[in-house]
Amino acid sequence: MMKLNSSSKLNFPKHLAIIMDGNGRWAKKKHSTRSFGHRFGVEKFKSVAKYCGKIGIGHLSVFAFSTENWKRPPEEVKFIMGLFEEYLSKALSEFQGENFRVNFLGGKTLLSEKIRNLIARAERETKSCTGMVLNIAANYGSKDEITRAVKEIAKKVEAGQISIDQIDETLISQNLYTDGQPDVDLVIRTGEEKRISNFLLWQSAYAEYIFLDTLWPDFKLEFIDDAIREFSSRKRRFGGIAIDS
């Protein structure tokens, strides 16, 4: 099957989001440890991100670690954080070559100082890159993000910088982690589950969803092509009525 590219006569999503689910179950099926599944999942993420950049996706958001994932067994969380640190140490050289602008979504206070420093460095050193914007959601939860935005706006009202009447959807969007980015058009979720899991709720209000039974480590690049073709075929009404209805 011919691979897609930005010249393909299809309606490409401006912002693609992926919930990368199923690493642990994949490892269990392989009679291996969950840690092995997470490591394999990171390698899969790298190849998918590079492919999305090559075919012309402008913004890619991936769900790496949620605010709820801290509830997992301590040894698994410790491994994931170590893997995240290892990945960040290598990400600069790998993604600078791809011209990605790296952006992290989520609270940083619970992350180690080393990880916080690596995040700051990755964002700083890729800031001038002109290729795909790569959002990595780590210690992220959409309810937490919206709560944070409301608090920031409340502070401005309290300080007399804005009035309550100035609060609208645009202002709320400007106080989210994705400020200045287009809303999510398409969400792909792997791993058999069919739920949103507190991921980019505001930004995905009118996104199209595609749920796959495939576990994340088994994800194939052609699934991106299939999802874009499916997205391009859908009639997006945004609450209105289709022209031919």
Catalytic residues: 21, 69
Q: Of 140, 138, 167, 170, whose CA–CA distance to 151 is shortest?
A: 167
Cα end-to-end distance, the chain, whole Å: 33
| Secondary structure E strands in 39-90 | 59-66
Q: Of 166, 149, 132, 152, whose CA–CA distance to 60 is shortest? A: 132
Contact 111, 119 (CB under 8 A): yes
CA 28 to chain centroid: 25
- Residue 206: phi and psi, rounded to 5, are -125, 25
Q: Which residues contact 193 (CB under 8 A, 6 or more apart)?
A: 21, 211
CB 229 within 8 A of CB 188: no
DSSP 16: E
Rounded to 5 degrees, φ, ψ at 58 are -80, -40
